[in-house]
Amino acid sequence: MNSNKLALRGDLLDLTGTPALDDVDSPVVRFRPDHWLLIEGGRIQAVLPGAQAPGDDWQREDHTGRLLMPGFIDTHVHCPQLDVIASYGTSLLDWLDTYTFPAEQRFADPAVAAPGSSLFLDALLAHGTTAAVVFPTVHAESAEALFAAAAGRGMRIVTGKVLMDRHAPEALRDDVAGAEADCERLIARWHGHGRAAFAVTVRFAITSTPEQLAMAGGLVGRHPGLYMQTHVAENRDEVRWVAQLFPEARSYLDVYHRHGLLNERSVLAHGIWLDDEDRALLAATGAHISHCPTSNLFLGSGLFDWRAAVASGHRVSIGTDVGGGTSLSMPRTLAEAYKVQAMQGQRLSAWAALHAGTRGAAEALGLGHEIGTLEPGLAADVVAWDWAHGPVATHRDAVARGAIAGLSEQALHARVFAWLTLADERNVAATWVAGHDRYRRISSTP
């Protein structure tokens, strides 16, 4: 429903700054239990205590007993890979050849790409994700379909035709001149139109010739507002192959740097096998890593060292990386991120995890003025979450609620951490994009 004046009641949770990785008592947590979130003209207008209901000119929706949070931002995910999510038995390079490249060929056909894009975006919304940085396929038609489907839903999507002109099946290869023309056409048609933004989308260094990387760098240089997305240092065999293909580069990341592809709008997925010099280069250029824990575990790629990232000063956001990743749910992904750090003797607080999935991602994308918090003036991309789904989570939440009586930040952390660890798409009751009602769970008793 398009309501010009919409008031949502629930437990408001967002972050006002950047929490330390393991700080469970962070001052930047803003928890406002039982408040009204006022939305006007698609933007957050104000917040009122629950007892102060807004007037009758507001359409009121009562989500008392639910969490109201900014929509999650998934900074690395592949639209055409819903077809191959949960495919057995391979690591990255085999997985691409066996499952992914065959599936992506189907997206050459707009009759596949259009419904595929709709299915994908509706699935994001049903998982509580309202904005995403997305890979379609090499086909301009697939980027076109995704942009069109996102515009139809008012979603903030960053995407662009995938560049790949070698080491892939013929049906998935482009060429430098054709790819450049496709990108220029898509930029003119979509970049900055509504909430859309174009990303120069280099699949990875293996599938682009140096000439194509130079062309990609040229696009980034000519159009300063563009994003750049790619993969980097995900898998050890991949890293070895890149070293053979680009012997002149100091490292895998340096391949992108040499081609002018690193700046504050660059989103690089994975970044597991980086060294400190690489991390310093990310910090210096403003490029950032989208950490994709479910994918890294599923494909056996490795453990991302988040503490080293923080120490170097580069930003980290979170990607589901479906279909290498195994869920579009950001809570599930963040719960796996916690485990990846635990495997390295490190801790990731619920606050740091939520930050990476909301405000931190928005800031890393230069969109902190637009999405990622419940600050007045921002777009009303909002999700209502049940605190618990099913008997175990309901019991666990009741225990956490009992302990919360004093409302200390640490007791709140215990409750939110349990929510984050146990929640998935079944907890999503409703999703709004710029104040528009875009998803509603069929049975939604609070």
Look at residue 288 and give the partner it binds from Zn ion, ligand GUN, none, a contact being a CB closer than 5 to 8 Å depending on partner kind. none
Relative orientation angle of helices 176-190 and 140-153, to the nearest 10 degrees: 10
DSSP 8-state assignment for residue 2:
B
Look at residue 92 and give the partner it binds from ligand GUN, Zn ion, none, a contact being a CB closer than 5 to 8 Å depending on partner kind. ligand GUN
Q: Quick one: 100 or 129, whose CB is closer to ligand GUN? A: 100
Instruction: Select from 161, 231, 265, 415 the one that contacts ligand GUN (CB under 6 A).
Output: 231
- Rounded to a whole number of angstroms, the distance between the first and last alpha carbons of the chain is 20
Residue nearest to Zn ion (CB): 321
Q: Quick one: 129 or 137, whose CB is closer to ligand GUN? A: 137
> Which residues lie closer than 8 Å to 287 by C-beta, 6 or more apart?
262, 263, 264, 266, 267, 268, 281, 314
DSSP 8-state assignment for residue 379:
B
Question: Residue 296 CB, nearest distance to ligand GUN (Å)?
Answer: 9
**β-strands 428-433, 382-386 pairing:** antiparallel
State both tokens at 407: 């409302």
Q: Is 295 in the site for ligand GUN (CB under 6 A)?
A: yes
Interaction pattern, residues 253-272, with Zn ion; x per rule: CB under 5 A: ----------------x---
Cis peptide before 323 (omega within 30 of 0): yes
Instruction: Select from 26, 45, 75, 100 the one that contacts ligand GUN (CB under 6 A).
Output: 100
Place of tokens 């600050």: 375
**β-strands 436-440, 72-78 pairing:** unpaired
Question: Residue 400 CB, nearest distance to Zn ion (Å)?
Answer: 34
**Residue 321, Cα to own-chain centre: how many angstroms?**
9
Q: Quick one: 21 or 255, whose CB is closer to ligand GUN? A: 255
Which of positions 178-207 make contact with ligand GUN (CB under 6 A)? 203-204
Of 81, 87, 130, which is closest to residue 101 (Cα–Cα)?
81
Place of tokens 């997206």: 107
Q: Quick one: 235 or 431, whose CB is closer to ligand GUN? A: 235
Question: Residue 275 CB, nearest distance to ligand GUN (Å)?
Answer: 20
Q: Is 321 in the site for Zn ion (CB under 5 A)?
A: yes
Question: Residue 176 CB, nearest distance to Zn ion (Å)?
Answer: 23
Question: Total residues contacting ligand GUN (rule CB under 6 A)?
Answer: 11
The contact set with Zn ion (CB under 5 A) reads: 269, 321
